[in-house]
Chains A and B, each alone.
Chain A
Amino acid sequence: MTGVRLENISKQFKDSTALEDVSFAVKDGEFVVILGASGSGKSTILRIIAGLEVQTRGHVYIGDMLVDEYEPRDRNIAMVFQSYALYPHLRVYDNIAFALRVRKVPREDDPDRYRRRTREEIDDRVRRAADLLGIGDTLTKKPAELSGGQRQRVALARAIVRDPELFLLDEPLSNLDAKIRSSARLELKRIHEQLKQTFVFVTHDQSEAMTLADRLVVIDHGHLLQFDTPENVLSRPANQFVASFVGSPEMMFLEGRIRAANGGFAFELDPVRISVRGARAPGPVTVGFRPWDLTVAKTAGPGAFPAVVRGIERLGSSDLLFLELQGSGAPGAPAMSGVTVRAMSRAYEYEVGDSAGVTLAPDRALFFGADGDRLDELEGAPAGP
């Protein structure tokens, strides 16, 4: 049971850069999820931790041990592959028992010498792992005879049976259909709580990441964008990419400008004006917000965008309004006409075609500079611990 630390890891393939200066540290017993789009380098990170791939630059530590030169088998890591990679020629029992038969354990009388595990020890562990995952009745089958969900459990059982330092899981739930997927998620969380071991879990599914993670690594095109708790990634995304990638319903963005005002800086998108912490210079800026950050009123008061209701989606508890902004028509104001925003509101008060006023809650809006980074982040602490 130990943590793992990546220090300035870069990985260059023949004709592409998969990772660029990635650093993060996973604490002992933590469940860290690596979230990124396809091809962003998630699997490459896991494979470098596992020793299956050698980094071009940087160092990997497991616990306090520098393991750059270690073979995969000397790192004592269990990995669940995206494809499960079960041994097709072995029965489920032998798949799970495989590592136990291969790896030796220190002798009780002389810890410097090693011995093979006995048949009873192996049997005991295999059955306990199988019970934990509810696959006790498949032990005599070959992998080809199992359903996708069962294979995924076997792959997990094969990992947990070993008592490794660290678990690496590469999208283990992605081959499951939606129904068993959410229950498999809960089960995985339960197993983590039971084992209290360190998990590094890869996914491209942001809701999966949010439910599972103690902390979240967001990567894109080989760059680590943010390493923080799911709550912070949601409410304080490091940049516009993270903001658009996580959270549901999706964040909306409007382009505006920052101008000097009252000794500080304020965001202006006629007729809205919000003072912005963390801004250092005037210039173009993007404001991001989610549907529930907007308030809709029958009339456009001061500071509200005039808008027309273009569509209503009834979701039950709260409904989604599609509002087309009208722009104020004031000289010099950005042309907002035609931009449609979504807002949470009580839809029964409105009909398509009604005019309305939309107000953006100033404390909820997020501002992103021209480079995409969030503006308060410039002053505040850098992302991560």
Chain B
Amino acid sequence: MMPRRRARKWLRLGRRIASHAVLIVAVVFALFPVYFIVITSFSKIPIAAITAQVLVPKVSQLTLGSYQQALSGQYPAFTSLLENSLIFAGSAAAIGMGLAAFTGFALSKFNFPGRRSLVYFILIISLFPSFLLIIPYYFMFAKLGLIDTYPGLIIPYSAGAVVFAGILVKNYMDSIPDDIEEAALMDGLSRTGAFFRVLLPLCYPVLGLAAFLAFVGPYTDYALAHVFITSSAKETLALNLYNIATTDTGASNYGVVTAFAIVMSLPIVVFYMAFQRYIIGGLTLGAVRG
């Protein structure tokens, strides 16, 4: 009796150690590049930390010089880049999310002929690599005089966001029982009123997620921005990151590139943390049934 129980205890401990080991390896694997970028950005030697083979730098080897250079030594100015990126990504997130809310509502709560086919059609579009759209977009927008303008990028970014976010919102709304909307109709609202006052607030979590995804895409986009933006006044952070990583001399300053990348990622982190509370602090639909 005793020995067997003890053996089971050891087995359990062994399993726990093994699973933790696997998790630790996974975390190290995922976080190492980030750590590597961080120490490179603080390093006095302007070459990649791996080349210097310094994995745990001494305090005396650290400097904020790369950050200074990244924030002030650039042309165009960092603030202008940030502003452009926020305009593009912010507009795409706002427009995309707004349209997605209506799209999801229509696809989920209205019965109209061809609804199912429309859902499949949108799903297929969302699988289409957006990369392939760049060339037709370019010709179309050149005709419309939209190259190197804000709308010229905001429109395709928003369109891309509506496609996946619309499906996301639809799926979420499907999980909201119809009688919640019907209760709102009985309480004196029109369908539009019920949408704005009941369904939309219930969808805040998924809209937060949709907005986040719709923001990150354009914020980090290089391909489309590279084709559509020709003047440095409209240059974005992502474009500039590429430019400083490939200086003409060929001798990239890894310290500056990594520092720039870290500063650039801060808004995403902030955005994520702001919405995370929403998503997790969750409005539970469990309230519906007893």
**Residues on A close to B: CB < 8 A?**
50, 52, 71-73, 77-79, 81-89, 98-99, 102-103, 142-144, 146, 148, 151-152, 158, 162, 175-176
Q: Is the CB of A85 within 8 A of B187?
A: no
Q: Is the interface of B mostly helix, strand, loop or mixed?
A: helix
Contact A89 B201 (CB under 8 A): yes
CA–CA, A78 and B185, complex, Å: 10
Given contacts A87-B198, A175-B290, contact A52 B185 (CB under 8 A): yes
Which one of B190, B287, B289 lies within 8 Å of A73 (CB-CB)?
B190
Additional A-B contact list (10), CB under 8 Å, known A81-B182, A87-B198, A88-B180: A50-B186, A73-B186, A79-B182, A83-B177, A83-B179, A88-B284, A88-B286, A88-B287, A89-B201, A152-B290
Asked whether A71 and B183 contact (CB < 8 A) given A144-B287, A148-B290, A151-B290, the answer is no
Q: Does B34 contact A (CB under 8 A)?
A: no
Distance A39 CA – B290 CA, assembled complex (angstroms): 21
Q: List 14 A-B contacts (CB under 8 A).
A: A73-B189, A77-B186, A82-B179, A83-B177, A85-B180, A86-B183, A87-B180, A88-B180, A88-B285, A89-B283, A98-B187, A102-B188, A151-B287, A158-B183
Instruction: Find chain B residues with CB under 8 A from A50 CB.
Output: 182, 186
B267 at the interface (CB under 8 A from A): no
Asked if B288 is at the interface of the complex by the 8 Å CB criterion, the answer is yes
Please list the residues of chain B having a beta carbon within 8 angstroms of any beta carbon in chain A.
Answer: 177, 179-180, 182-190, 193, 197-198, 201-202, 204, 283-290
Contact A144 B284 (CB under 8 A): yes
Look across to chain A and name the residue whose beta carbon is closest to the beta carbon of B284: A144
Q: Is the CB of A86 within 8 A of B185?
A: no
Query: Separation in Å of the B280 CB from the closest CB of chain A?
Result: 15
A50 to B186, CA, bound (A): 8
What is the minimal beta-carbon distance from B258 to any residue of chain A, in angstroms?
43
Q: Are A99 and B188 touching (Cβ within 8 A)?
A: yes
Taking CB atoms, residues of chain A closer than 8 Å to B187 are 73, 98-99, 102-103, 158, 162
Question: Separation in Å of the B185 CB from the closest CB of chain A?
Answer: 4
A143–B287 touching, CB < 8 Å: yes
Query: Of the candidates B189, B197, B201, B288, which one forms a contact with A85 in the assembled complex, judged by CB atoms under 8 Å apart?
Result: B288
- Closest A residue to B190 by beta carbon equals A73
Alpha-carbon distance A78/B177, docked complex (angstroms) = 18
Smallest beta-carbon distance A32→chain B, Å: 19
Q: Which residues of B contact A78 (CB under 8 A)?
A: 186
Residues of A within 8 A of B183 (CB): 79, 81, 85-87, 158
Asked, given contacts A87-B180, A89-B283, whether A72 binds B186 with beta carbons under 8 Å apart, the answer is yes
CA distance A81 to B183 in the complex (A): 8
- 7 closest A-B pairs by beta carbon, nearest first, are A143-B287, A88-B287, A148-B290, A175-B290, A99-B187, A144-B287, A85-B179
B202 x A88 contact (CB < 8 A)? yes
**Which residues of chain B have C-beta atoms less than 8 A from A77's C-beta?**
186
Closest residue on chain A to residue B176 by CB atoms: A88
In contact, A81 and B283 (Cβ under 8 angstroms): no
> What separation, in Å, do the CA atoms of A176 and B285 have in the docked complex?
19
List the B side residues contacting A86 at CB < 8 Å: 180, 183, 287-288
Residue from B179, B197, B202 in contact with A81 in the complex, judged by beta carbons closer than 8 Å: B179
Shortest Cβ gap from A99 to chain B (Å): 4
Minimum C-beta distance from B160 to chain A (A)? 29
